């Protein structure tokens, strides 16, 4: 199974040019990762200046125009971000030098420098980070000629590309380029050792999407031989008549090909996606930005920014109807729901049972794991400590945790608390280290493990989600509050209770699993069973993998507690009883976009920050081995919702309930129900295909060839043994059968997966080396781990 996901149909949310500019500014802040801007001495500062901020390994080109007056004014262009004419204010020019600030950018992005003849140089600072900059005076004509202009076979870098015929627009992320080819547009990512990736856009007459896709491949890659692996027609976005998606297989399994076609009237708009797997694993978020930004001019978007929302109470009946229908469609055993608005709890309710096959009902006081929704709680905790000066957003992590380190010593000294929470540092998801080692991991070992983590991208280049980094932020907060090294987990629990859980009144929220079991009012974790297609309970002990990274998502909570938390968030830091637990200023810092996730979503500090049809919307989802959650709030409507479910990978369900509430409150036509019907159909189809491909057992001859002990530096020791004729994978913390997938014409298995236990579907393969040495490889592409056989 490829880690690349099928792109969702592009969103069209009526974004204004101002909104797109705001996204570009947010991306700038993320790219610079809290950098700092320039120093200048007065001199003859008026005019246009062209140069770069010298970020190590990735200079960022800028063009600054300063105009003398009372007061001085100025603008800045950042071509790599597609940002043009961003105001500078205030601008100060005197004998001491030149100072100007980029307006509207988080972190006080400031240039301070001096003019020396035709050179303006100094230091750029943003959010505590500093880099030198050098600008040279440019004549207006030189500045104009420096700006790239799109045209046939001419590349344009970053920003937004507009079709010359006015049919569509599409984003061009940092480091990407757009070039008009013969009959199509290519948006191409940076080429590197891991390969390349690009998106081709073809507009063709007619309303047959399948024919349009075939013609598009023939136009853009006439010599490419592909075999269609899967096709489906998801529900179309409003204004789109029909949507068609196809995925393909090629001779190279490490290449990914997909097609997305949308019919609007008598034209079909086709996106062809190509990528080397390793490149997609590093920069998949940038590909998401391109795909989700595609906007067809003929399709009108909606803008809800001036719409008066209905009260949540008035739509509760319709919301409950949808929830119970969707819960049944997905087969989720139990759910708890809380809706808040205007500083009050509008509704809390439990649905279903705490364990499939049982009779104990879920109530608003049933504890469930909230997964990564807990990242927002950790972010608020850090903000409260910033209020008291115990730490700063831009405090170097080594000042709080001296044993913190990454592979690059220079970065070790520069990485700040902010960087741990922004999902913009370039450190990718490394959850297998948790799955294989959680019995041995401690908070301190998690912190120390970062030394061996590879950075997939540079700071701010792409969204990269890391549980270990957010956990380290929580442990840094504990250290700042006085917890000694060696007691960081306990210190986090203590400071969280003291600063947030107690004052907000979240008495049932905890990271103490033993206390949850003693209380005796919790949901059981469930996973989807391949054979039956139903959710089955799993052992609560398997949830142990989240505790070493507790601040990133090991919290248990209830609908009632999370309602109080949502009221506190919407009240900008004031708890339901009126006590302030965090300042408005620092809470709002956590909502500032740091790195783009898609065309309409960015990641802040522990929050997803979105544009929902012109409305600011903040959210986070969570998923553990047996629970799912989604929390969404809209500041403009003073509305929030939390959905908790005792089922793994049920975020399609939990998020749909939250979004259905938003649709109802804003009187929007429902897209959620059609999407749910489609998702349920896709899940059933995927389970059927999995059952068809899975073989009963590894043939004994092969099992005898593979059994034995293996070791990997990151994941530790595992063993393969034969029990009752079945090859069994034993990781220590958990066990699973090894099953072959569908065999080829020669009867050889095309691959192997784990089956049973908490990690069904983990990809395995065996490689034969010199002298018959066998290597066990888990994963695909650059997200893989090689286990050497122990003789």
Cα–Cα dist 237/241, whole Å: 8
Please provide the size of the chain in residues.
791
Most confident by average pLDDT, 440-444, 520-524, 680-684, 709-713? 520-524
Residue bearing tokens 């719409």: 307
Q: Tell me if 614 is assigned to some domain.
A: yes
Pairing of strands 608-612, 35-36: unpaired
| Residues 457 and 554 both lie in one domain | yes
Residue 121's DSSP bridge partners are 134
CA nearest neighbour of 355 among 645, 757, 680: 645
Q: pLDDT per residue over 578-593, tens digit each?
A: 999 999 999 999 999 9
Q: pLDDT per residue over 309-323, tens digit each?
A: 999 999 999 999 999
Cα–Cα dist 338/565, whole Å: 11
Confidence (pLDDT) at 6: 30
Cα–Cα dist 248/257, whole Å: 5
Is residue 599 over pLDDT 80?
yes
pLDDT band of 332, cuts 50, 70, 90: very high
| Residues 123 and 216 both lie in one domain | no
Q: Which one-letter DSSP state was computed for residue 120?
A: E
Q: Which one-letter DSSP state was computed for residue 207?
A: S
Is residue 730 over pLDDT 70?
yes
Mean pLDDT for all residues in the chain: 87
Q: Tell me if 329 is assigned to some domain.
A: yes
| Residues 444 and 579 both lie in one domain | yes
Confidence (pLDDT) at 107: 62
Is residue 30 over pLDDT 80?
no
Confidence (pLDDT) at 283: 80
Residues 6+ apart with CB under 8 A from 294: 10, 168, 169, 170, 201, 269, 271
Confidence (pLDDT) at 131: 77
Most confident by average pLDDT, 5-14, 292-301, 407-416? 292-301
Residue 326, burial from CB neighbour count under 10 angstroms (0-12, 13-18, 19+): buried
Is residue 732 over pLDDT 80?
yes
Q: Tell me if 283 is assigned to some domain.
A: yes
**Buried-state track 402-420, b at ≥16 Cβ within 10 A, e below 16:** eebbbeeeebbebbbbbbb
| Segments of 481-614 assigned E as strands | 526-528, 535-537, 556-557, 595-596, 601-603, 608-612
Residue 495's domain spans which residues? 312-677
| Residues 717 and 578 both lie in one domain | no
Confidence (pLDDT) at 119: 92
Q: pLDDT per residue over 177-230, tens digit each?
A: 999 999 999 999 988 777 889 999 999 999 999 999 999 999 999 999 999 999
Mean pLDDT value of segment 663-684: 95
| Residues 197 and 277 both lie in one domain | yes
Q: Tell me if 690 is assigned to some domain.
A: no
Q: pLDDT per residue over 446-475, tens digit each?
A: 999 888 877 766 776 778 888 999 999 999
Confidence (pLDDT) at 330: 97
| Residues 210 and 343 both lie in one domain | no
Mean pLDDT value of segment 774-785: 83
Is residue 158 over pLDDT 60?
no
Is-contact 286 6, C-beta < 8 A? Answer: no
| Residues 131 and 161 both lie in one domain | no
Mean pLDDT value of segment 495-507: 98
Show the tokens assigned to 626.
């047996």
Q: pLDDT per residue over 627-649, tens digit each?
A: 999 999 999 999 999 999 999 99
* Percent of the chain whose pLDDT exceeds 70: 88
Confidence (pLDDT) at 4: 33
Q: Which residue has the higher pLDDT, 157 or 738?
A: 738
pLDDT band of 768, cuts 50, 70, 90: confident
Q: Which residue has the higher pLDDT, 28 or 748?
A: 748
Domain-ending residue, one of 102, 129, 146? 146
Confidence (pLDDT) at 128: 62
Q: pLDDT per residue over 380-389, tens digit each?
A: 999 999 999 9
Among 149-163, 189-203, 347-361, the least confident range: 149-163
The DSSP line for 34-63 is: SEE---B--SS--EEEEEEE--TT--EEEE
Mean pLDDT value of segment 485-500: 98
Confidence (pLDDT) at 105: 64
Confidence (pLDDT) at 747: 54
User: What crossing angle do the helices spanning 488-496 and 374-387 adopt, rounded to 10°?
Assistant: 80
Would you tell me how many other CB atoms lie within 10 Å of the CB of residue 585? 12
Among 98-107, 350-359, 544-553, 584-593, the least confident range: 98-107
Is residue 414 over pLDDT 60?
yes
Mean pLDDT value of segment 85-96: 85
Mean pLDDT value of segment 406-419: 89
Show the tokens assigned to 479.
């250290």
Cα–Cα dist 241/9, whole Å: 12
Mean pLDDT value of segment 721-738: 92
118: domain CATH number?
2.40.128
Mean pLDDT value of segment 237-257: 92
Mean pLDDT value of segment 314-338: 98
Among 514-528, 545-559, 732-746, 763-777, the least confident range: 732-746
| Residues 543 and 610 both lie in one domain | yes
Cα–Cα dist 94/39, whole Å: 12
Tally of domains in the chain = 4
Cα–Cα dist 732/382, whole Å: 35
| Residues 412 and 558 both lie in one domain | yes
Is residue 13 over pLDDT 50?
no
Is residue 444 over pLDDT 90?
yes
Domain-ending residue, one of 95, 126, 146? 146
Q: Tell me if 688 is assigned to some domain.
A: no
Q: pLDDT per residue over 283-317, tens digit each?
A: 888 899 999 999 999 999 889 999 999 999 999 99
Confidence (pLDDT) at 285: 83
Q: pLDDT per residue over 567-578, tens digit each?
A: 999 999 999 999
Q: Give yes or no for a cis peptide into 90 (omega within 30° of 0).
A: yes
Q: Tell me if 4 is assigned to some domain.
A: no
Q: Tell me if 277 is assigned to some domain.
A: yes
| Residues 561 and 599 both lie in one domain | yes
pLDDT band of 407, cuts 50, 70, 90: confident
Mean pLDDT value of segment 138-142: 51
Show the tokens assigned to 343.
């500083």
Confidence (pLDDT) at 595: 87
277: domain CATH number?
3.40.1000.10
| Residues 727 and 776 both lie in one domain | yes
Residue 300, burial from CB neighbour count under 10 angstroms (0-12, 13-18, 19+): exposed
Q: Tell me if 684 is assigned to some domain.
A: no
Is-contact 17 371, C-beta < 8 A? Answer: no
Residue 345's DSSP bridge partners are 340
| Residues 354 and 488 both lie in one domain | yes
Confidence (pLDDT) at 28: 27
pTM for this predicted structure = 0.79
Domain-ending residue, one of 146, 167, 191? 146
Helices (H) and strands (E) in the chain, counts: 20, 38
Three-state DSSP class for residue 673: helix
Residue 788's DSSP bridge partners are 711, 775
Among 72-86, 88-102, 733-747, the least confident range: 72-86
Show the tokens assigned to 468.
């270990």
667: domain CATH number?
3.40.710.10
Is-contact 475 385, C-beta < 8 A? Answer: no
Residue bearing tokens 């090294």: 485
């Amino acid at each position: 199974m490829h880690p690349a996901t099928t792109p969702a149909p592009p969103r069209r949310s009526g974004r204004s040019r101002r909104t797109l500019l705001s996204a570009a500014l947010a991306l700038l802040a993320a790219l610079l990762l809290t950098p700092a801007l320039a120093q200048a001495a007065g001199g003859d500062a008026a005019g246009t200046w062209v140069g770069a901020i010298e970020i190590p390994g990735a200079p960022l080109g800028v063009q600054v125009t300063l105009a003398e007056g009372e007061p001085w004014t100025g603008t800045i262009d950042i071509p790599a971000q597609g940002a043009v004419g961003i105001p500078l204010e205030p601008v100060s020019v005197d004998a001491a030098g030149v100072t100007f600030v980029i307006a509207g950018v988080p972190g006080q992005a400031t240039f301070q420098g001096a003019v020396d003849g035709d050179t303006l140089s100094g230091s750029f600072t943003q959010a505590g980070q500093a880099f030198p900059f050098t600008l040279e005076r440019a004549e207006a004509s030189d500045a104009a000629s420096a700006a790239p202009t799109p045209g046939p076979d001419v590349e344009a870098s970053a920003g937004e590309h507009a079709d010359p015929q006015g049919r569509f627009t599409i984003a061009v992320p940092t480091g990407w380029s757009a070039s008009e080819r013969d009959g199509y547009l290519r948006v191409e990512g940076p080429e590197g050792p891991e390969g390349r990736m690009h998106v081709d856009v073809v507009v063709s007459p007619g309303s047959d999407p399948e024919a349009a896709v075939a013609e598009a491949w023939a136009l853009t890659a006439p010599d490419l031989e592909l075999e269609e692996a899967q096709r489906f027609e998801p529900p179309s976005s409003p204004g789109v008549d029909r949507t068609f998606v196809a995925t393909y297989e090629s001779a190279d399994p490490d290449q990914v090909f997909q097609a997305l076609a949308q019919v609007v009237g008598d034209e079909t708009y086709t996106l062809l996606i190509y990528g080397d797997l390793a490149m997609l694993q590093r920069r998949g978020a940038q590909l998401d930005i391109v795909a989700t930004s595609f906007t067809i001019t003929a399709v009108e978007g909606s803008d809800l920014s001036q719409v008066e929302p209905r009260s949540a109470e008035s739509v509760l009946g319709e919301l409950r109807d949808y929830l119970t229908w969707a819960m049944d469609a997905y087969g989720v055993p139990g759910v708890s729901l809380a809706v808040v608005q205007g500083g009050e709890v509008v509704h809390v309710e439990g649905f279903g049972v705490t364990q499939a096959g049982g009779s104990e009902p879920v109530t608003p006081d049933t504890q469930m794991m909230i997964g990564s929704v807990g990242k927002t709680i950790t972010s608020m905790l850090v903000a409260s400590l910033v209020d008291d000066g115990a730490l700063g957003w831009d405090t170097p992590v080594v000042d709080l945790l001296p044993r913190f380190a990454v592979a690059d010593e220079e970065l070790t000294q520069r990485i700040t608390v902010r960087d741990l929470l922004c999902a913009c540092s370039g450190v990718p998801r490394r959850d297998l280290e948790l799955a294989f080692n959680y019995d041995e991991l401690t908070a301190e070992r998690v912190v120390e493990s970062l030394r061996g983590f590879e950075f997939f991208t540079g700071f701010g280049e792409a969204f990269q989600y890391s549980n270990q980094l957010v956990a380290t932020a929580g442990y840094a907060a504990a250290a700042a509050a006085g917890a000694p090294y060696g007691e960081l987990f306990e210190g986090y629990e203590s400071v969280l209770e003291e600063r947030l859980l107690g004052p907000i009144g979240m008495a049932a929220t905890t990271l103490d699993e033993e206390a949850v079991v003693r209380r005796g009012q919790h949901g059981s974790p469930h996973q989807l069973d391949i054979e039956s297609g139903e959710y089955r309970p799993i052992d609560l002990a398997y949830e142990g993998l989240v505790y070493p990274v507790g601040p990133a998502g090991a919290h248990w909570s209830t609908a009632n507690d999370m309602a109080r938390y949502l009221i506190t968030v919407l009240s900008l830091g004031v708890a339901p009883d009126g006590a302030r637990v965090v300042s408005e200023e620092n809470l709002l810092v956590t909502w500032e976009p740091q790195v783009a996730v898609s065309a309409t979503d960015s990641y802040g500090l522990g929050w997803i920050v979105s544009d929902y049809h012109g409305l600011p919307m903040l959210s986070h989802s969570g998923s553990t081995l047996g629970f799912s959650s989604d929390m969404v709030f809209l500041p403009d409507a003073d509305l929030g919702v939390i959905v908790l479910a005792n089922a793994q990978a049920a975020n399609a369900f939990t998020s749909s309930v939250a979004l259905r509430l938003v649709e109802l409150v804003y009187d929007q036509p429902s897209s959620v129900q059609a999407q749910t019907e489609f998702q349920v159909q896709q899940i059933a189809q995927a389970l059927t295909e999995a059952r068809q491909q899975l073989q009963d057992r590894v043939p004994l001859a092969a099992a005898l060839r593979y059994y034995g002990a293996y070791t990997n530096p990151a994941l530790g020791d595992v063993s393969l043994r034969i029990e009752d004729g079945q090859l069994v994978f034993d990781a220590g913390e958990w066990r699973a059968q090894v099953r072959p997938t569908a065999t080829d014409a020669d009867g050889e298995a095309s691959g192997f997966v784990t089956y049973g236990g908490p990690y069904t579907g983990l990809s395995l393969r065996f490689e034969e080396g010199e002298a018959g040495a066998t290597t066990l490889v888990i994963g695909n592409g650059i997200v893989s781990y090689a286990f050497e056989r122990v003789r």
